[in-house]
Structure 1
Amino acid sequence: MSSLLEILHKEVVPAEGCTEPIAVAYAVSLAAELLKEEITFIKLQLSGNIIKNAMGVGIPGTGQTGLPIAAALGAVVGRSHKELEILSNLTPAELKQANELLDRGLLEVELKDTPEKLYIEARVYSPNHTATAIIAGEHTHIDFLALDGEKITPPKSKADCGKPGLSDSGAYAGSVDRIFEFIDAVPFQDISFLLEGARMNKAISEEGLRGNYGLQVGKKMSQKSAVNLFGNDIASRIIAATAAASDARMDGSAMPVMTTAGSGNQGIACTLPVIALAELLGKDKEMLARALALSNLVTVHIKHYIGRLSPLCGSGIAGGVGANSGIIYLMGGSLAQIKHGIQNTIASLSGMICDGAKSTCALKISTSTNAAIQAATLAMNDIAPTTKDGVIFEEVEDTIRNMERLVQEGLADTDTAILNIMLSKGGVM
């Protein structure tokens, strides 16, 4: 990891809609754009994690959920250059055309037996040609592109711009110490771009608080009523603001979000608590930018060990740990207290599983935000777990690495079990 600033530029990017179905739309679009004839069939082969995270989530601008409409739109819109914002400015005509494609039964989805957690293979057929696009490892990493079996050099993706990311394990040398040193030393102008992400994520939070999205977790928490047990304290306002953004995003809001490490919900989870607290405390833009740099980089650091897609909830665990670090920084905490906060948050959230992208993500994010605030309060009082406590080790980096062991050794079959449970409900793809 040669430059933490480069990591920020690569891993903090905008997206419209849940990144898994949007990545499917992107793959289909890449293949469809190679064909100059009418599309006669689309075949998708997807890893279990892609299916799990795309089955129940709302697709922006459609009022529909799941993989089929995302894939069909990818075949129709023809703007793969927009990558994770491929469905922005969707028109009624495009939606109608996509639904007609589905009505004709031109889409088939299969589970791919692959060790790669993030794998999308899209084959698009026309009367005389077949085009193939494979996305693997990262949501916009084009692993293979071909027309009639002849390999084509893919367009340069933002994810492949030569800058290292959390997937670059051979170059990875991240640590909480290094991140803390960076955020104190980096010139403000170099990280001021993070403020655009703050504006973007705050906007979708406000939309979630206004509208009736999903389970309305954030909205109902923020309303004064006889059945609301939450008060109007700082913690409740931060949790409500964060959950509301996920409510809107998971229910198909067409507003963009600033993602972190390939996930919009991770971006929401690690930034909105920091944004909300900075506003409540009256912090200036520079302090906010530094806190956001910290929260994003700590989230990326945790995700390096959990994995891009995982049986553990990245938004809850990685996003919660990142938010906790940013909260402590805004409260004037030291590096030692930030480490205490990470230990506290992992002790609280380490067992949170991922059962796909859907409306209940807002519940998990509200839980993780609450845990992050609680953990920060303890850390600011110099309280942290000891080595006698579960997965916690004395050194914070060892505790973080234990998340990788938990995924690889302890939860090896969890994704399969979760996916089988989801598929048992029938009609979900």
Structure 2
Amino acid sequence: MDYISLLQSEMRPAFGCTEPIALAYAAAKAVSVLDEFPNHIHARCSANIIKNVKSVVIPNSGGRKGLQAATTLGAIVGHPERELEVLESATDEDRKWLGTLLDANFCTVSLAEGVDNLYIEITAETDEHTAVVRIENDHTNVTYVAVDGEIVSETINEIKKVAKTEYAMTFDSIYEFSKTADISGIIPQIKQQVEYNTAISREGLSNDYGSNIGQLLLLDEENPSLETKCKARAAAGSDARMSGCPLPVVICSGSGNQGLTVSVPIITTAEELGKSDDELYRALVFANLLTLYVKSGIGKLSAYCGVVSAGVVSVAGIAFLKGDSKDIIENTLVNGLASLSGIVCDGAKPSCAGKIAISLDGAFMGYKQARLNKNYQKGDGLVAYSVDETIRSIGTVAQGMKETDVVILNEMLKH
């Protein structure tokens, strides 16, 4: 497994929540292929895309939410080469046009059934031509482009082969790589993760976003503990991101909230303890890789809440940063997953910040259990006979939650 290449492909900056941005990117791509602005756009999306776009504020949209707004703004702004940063250049004129097109029902949306959890199909039409663009399995993985029924060649750079995110990983291989390997090839992305994710965390702590979970955690705390700082700073980044803050985040496993959760507590701990850059960077390599490993069975979109796995991994990364034994790091991960793997995903929205704080809190309890050798026993619930088997069990449970996803979406659409 080429871990450097994997991290380079996964650790990308995203401007706004990744699901609405993926819709915007697909729409921009369809318009660019059509080569003229369409009269109408239709978006067919998987349930998980609908769930994660419904309630989150789209950056640079004037505070708007929803699939129609994300798709339409992407079509207006264009520039698909910017991928997950496609909406960064939206102007006041774009926002005015967005309002006009939304009032005119320019964009319609329907549920795509029997598809993978991450699926988007955009159909853009003029009076004479039709373009179709599909994205599957990854937020920028364009798997199909056609104009007037003619398939566009798949040799162009924008089209990649569909690939399930199942990685040939083990806990031991990730641990050894992070400890000893030459990581110079991923340092630019790691530095960017530190810079971007710290900046949006500070923004969330300084201004009014969502339910201000990050700020609430610091109320009445004259001298907050390191654990409280970790929870508050990670949650604050999500407060800002879920409420349309126009700052990018370096994502992990296709998610900005997971990118924030897995990185900000480790960055905070490194600052507090005076760790070297090399120690910080290796801990972040470990945590990002471990998140990708845990999520490889769960899937990028699922009824299983992704910040749970990211929160547990983040605290395991703190143990790695502090030089704890491999046994303590393993048990921190297993204890946290055993305690927290019941939190469901009900879409991207401000309460994600609360789930980040809760997940980190439970993960810190798991870390304390590990240090005091009060671990959950093998065979109890989902605790398997090795850390790798436990990770696989969690993935199997998450894959079995497809019907749960449908029930959650149906309930969300009632409100």
TM-score, structure 1 as length reference:
0.93
Question: Residue 242 of structure 1 is aligned with which of 221, 227, 234?
Answer: 234
Aligned 8 A contact 2:200 2:241 in 1 = yes
Question: Residue 395 of structure 1 is aligned with which of 368, 386, 395?
Answer: 386
In structure 2, the partner of 1:33 is 32
Q: 1:168 to 1:236 in 2, by over 3 A?
A: closer
In structure 2, the partner of 1:216 is 212
TM-score, structure 2 as length reference:
0.96
Q: Verify: 1:13 aligned to 2:12, yes or no.
A: yes
Cα displacement string for residues 91-131 of structure 1 (whole angstroms, at most 9, x for unaligned residues)? 11111112211111111100011231000000011111111
Deviation of residue 308 (structure 1)?
A: 1.3
Deviation of residue 189 (structure 1)?
A: 2.5
Aligned 8 A contact 1:327 1:373 in 2 = no
In the alignment, the residues of structure 1 paired with residue 178 and residue 201 of structure 2 have an alpha-carbon distance, to the nearest angstrom, of 26
> 4+ residue runs of structure 1 moved beyond 4 angstroms?
none
Question: Residue 202 of structure 1 is aligned with which of 198, 201, 208?
Answer: 198
In structure 2, the partner of 1:156 is 157
* Corresponding residue pairs, total: 412
In structure 2, the partner of 1:332 is 323
Alignment of 1:355-366 (within 5 A): 355-366=346-357
In the alignment, the residues of structure 2 paired with residue 258 and residue 37 of structure 1 have an alpha-carbon distance, to the nearest angstrom, of 32
Q: Secondary structure, in 3 states, of the residue corresponding to 1:274?
A: helix
Deviation of residue 191 (structure 1)?
A: 3.5
Cα displacement string for residues 146-197 of structure 1 (whole angstroms, at most 9, x for unaligned residues)? 111111136424x94x9x98x343xx32011000000011225233220221
Question: Residue 262 of structure 1 is aligned with which of 246, 254, 279?
Answer: 254
Aligned 8 A contact 2:77 2:87 in 1 = yes
In structure 2, the partner of 1:413 is 403
Alignment of 1:54-203 (within 5 A): 54-62=53-61, 63-153=63-153, 155-157=156-158, 160=160, 167-169=164-166, 172-193=167-188, 194-203=190-199
Q: Verify: 1:424 aligned to 2:410, yes or no.
A: no
One-letter amino acid matched to 2:369: L
Deviation of residue 8 (structure 1)?
A: 1.0
Cα displacement string for residues 35-86 of structure 1 (whole angstroms, at most 9, x for unaligned residues)? 2444211111100000000100011122111212111111111110000000
One-letter amino acid matched to 1:176: F
Q: Verify: 1:253 aligned to 2:245, yes or no.
A: yes
Unaligned runs of 5+ in 1: none
In the alignment, the residues of structure 2 paired with residue 372 and residue 243 of structure 1 have an alpha-carbon distance, to the nearest angstrom, of 14
In the alignment, the residues of structure 2 paired with residue 322 and residue 250 of structure 1 have an alpha-carbon distance, to the nearest angstrom, of 22
One-letter amino acid matched to 1:289: Y
In the alignment, the residues of structure 2 paired with residue 347 and residue 14 of structure 1 have an alpha-carbon distance, to the nearest angstrom, of 31
One-letter amino acid matched to 2:291: T
Deviation of residue 290 (structure 1)?
A: 0.4
Single out whichever of 189-198 and 393-402 deviates more from structure 2.
Answer: 189-198
Single out whichever of 62-71 and 22-31 deviates more from structure 2.
Answer: 62-71
Deviation of residue 231 (structure 1)?
A: 6.1
In the alignment, the residues of structure 2 paired with residue 58 and residue 50 of structure 1 have an alpha-carbon distance, to the nearest angstrom, of 14
In the alignment, the residues of structure 2 paired with residue 326 and residue 16 of structure 1 have an alpha-carbon distance, to the nearest angstrom, of 25
In the alignment, the residues of structure 2 paired with residue 288 and residue 215 of structure 1 have an alpha-carbon distance, to the nearest angstrom, of 30
Q: Percent identity?
A: 38
Alignment of 1:248-327 (within 5 A): 248-316=240-308, 318-327=309-318
Aligned 8 A contact 1:192 1:286 in 2 = no
In the alignment, the residues of structure 2 paired with residue 334 and residue 153 of structure 1 have an alpha-carbon distance, to the nearest angstrom, of 51
Aligned 8 A contact 1:124 1:130 in 2 = yes
Aligned 8 A contact 2:8 2:186 in 1 = no
In the alignment, the residues of structure 1 paired with residue 109 and residue 2 of structure 2 have an alpha-carbon distance, to the nearest angstrom, of 39
One-letter amino acid matched to 1:174: M
In the alignment, the residues of structure 2 paired with residue 188 and residue 32 of structure 1 have an alpha-carbon distance, to the nearest angstrom, of 39
